[in-house]
Amino acid sequence: MSQAYTPGLLVTPQIVHRVRRVLPIAGDVLVTQGATVAARDVVARANLPGDVVPINLAKLLAIPPGDVPSCMLKQPGERVEVGEVIARTKGIFGFFKSEYVSRSAGTIESISSITGQMLIRGEPLPVDVQAYLAGRVVEVLPNEGCVIEAAVTFVQGIFGIGGEAFGPIRMVCDHHETPLTPELITEEMRGSIIIGGGRVSGDAVRQGIACGVAAIVSGGIDDADLKEILGYDLGVAITGTEQVGTTLIVTEGFGDIAMAQRTFELFQSCAGREASANGATQIRAGVMRPEVLIPVSSAEAATTSKSGSDSSGTTGEANAPDGKAAGGGMLEVGCFVRIIRDPYFGTIGKVTQLPSQPGLLASGSKARVLEVQPPTGPAVLVPRANVEIVTN
């Protein structure tokens, strides 16, 4: 068999996209169906239980555990403040009394006459869920959250770190092959989602953090730079919780790789428009791609196709009205692919062979394979399921 269909990154100027925004625990939904929301609007809120502080009163007051309840000046369910006396012994003939002054604020959750311990529950931890996507609420999920829909320009990346970010699109490089270097990033870009071209250097990422940019999007990054930025080796199972000061998204892979020309031109056409970005990446079960969402105007939205799925909350399938969505294609000898699994994750190369028979992998198992020739080094044999089409 000389050809097969394989998925690819979705890059399209117009798509009706849905995001599912839900709380980690039951809480309050702050929007109604049909409401229009901005990306930074809080749509749901909940309070996580505060941390529990155990206090061994029997030991601190030098009394038997069974005497602790009778020494309490506060009872379960009552609030205590830092510096407040909450337990006092009876002493001997009214003298030599001992007392405990609280070092924690919160609510007394329990007092045990068996262990002599008291538990203080700290302040609730508020959790706010933002809309993330500026659009219309099409479904309210009681006590959970909502589903938001909007017509957007949609760009998926291959890899990213950092969570959700918001800001206007700002072009930094003038060509899709121009490397993103630190001198191109300035203080006036604070709060923006900046778009590079070729490889982004580690120094450029640090400059972006120093200048307070919301997110950095470019074609590629060197693995050594990424390790230096994070301070540790990052696995590719799942990302998105890294606290580095900005969100980073690479659209093509690891190494000295330029952004696809069509992707770069799409960003150019959106310069100045408000956008949302998320660097969260997962390449195993439940694949999740880093993404940039740029809402389109009402006039443009009138001709937009609708996303096929909102089950993941952050991704969908689409048929772009211009027929140019890079979401997959026919796998043939001569086409370019990106490898999306270890040990060649992020490598881009040309398909040189598509054997019709299953091939033997290094693990000893057999699978439908193809041969990929990277720009440097020998050709590698990988499962067809481990690649995606690259469209330039």
Nearest CA-CA partner of 297 in 166, 171, 152:
152
Sign of CA dihedral 295, 299, 305, 307: positive
In the prediction, which pLDDT does 83 show?
Answer: 94
Q: Residue 276 in contact with residue 39, Cβ under 8 Å?
A: yes
Cα torsion 259, 265, 271, 276: sign: negative
341, two tokens = 């699994």
How many C-beta atoms surround the C-beta of residue 261 within 10 A?
Answer: 14
At residue 326's C-alpha, the angle toward residues 320 and 330, to 5°, is: 115
SS3 222: coil
DSSP string, 80-100: E-TT-EEEE---BTTBS--EE
- The backbone torsions φ and ψ at residue 23, rounded to the nearest 5 degrees and listed phi first, read -80, 155
Report pLDDT for 216: 98
Q: What pLDDT is recorded for position 9?
A: 76
| Cα pseudo-dihedral 249, 202, 167, 34, rounded to 10 | 30
Using only the alpha carbons of the chain, give its radius of gyration: 28
Reduced to 3 states (helix: H, G, I; strand: E, B; else coil), residue 71 is: helix
Task: Specify the residue for token string 């000061």.
Answer: 245
Residue 97 pLDDT? 86
Burial class (CB in 10 A: 0-12, 13-18, 19+), 168: middle
Q: Which of 224, 208, 337, 372 is nearest to 279 (CA)?
A: 208
Q: At 215, is the secondary structure helix, strand, or coil?
A: strand
Check residue 10 and give its pLDDT: 83
Read off the tokens for 82.
Answer: 């830092």
Residue 138 phi, psi (nearest 5)? -105, -10
Structure tokens at 185: 């990033």
pLDDT for 344 equals: 81
Residue 309 CA to residue 315 CA, distance in Å, equals: 7
Residue 201 pLDDT: 95
Pair 168, 272: CB distance under 8 Å:
yes
- Alpha-carbon distance of 242 to 281, in angstroms, equals 11
pLDDT of residue 73: 95
pLDDT in tens, the chain (392 residues): 445 666 667 888 999 999 999 999 999 999 999 999 999 999 999 999 999 999 999 999 999 999 999 999 999 999 999 999 999 998 776 677 899 999 999 999 999 999 999 999 999 999 999 999 999 999 999 999 999 999 999 999 989 999 999 999 999 999 999 999 999 999 999 999 999 999 999 999 999 999 999 999 999 999 899 999 998 887 656 888 888 999 999 998 888 888 988 899 999 999 999 999 999 998 766 678 899 999 997 666 655 555 433 333 333 333 333 333 445 667 888 888 888 777 787 777 889 998 888 888 777 888 889 999 988 889 999 998 888 887 55
The Cα–Cα gap between 363 and 380 comes to 14
- Report the SS3 class of residue 182: helix
pLDDT for 301: 62
- Bin 328: left if φ > 0, else alpha if -120 < ψ < 50, else beta: left
Residue written as token pair 């770069």? 264
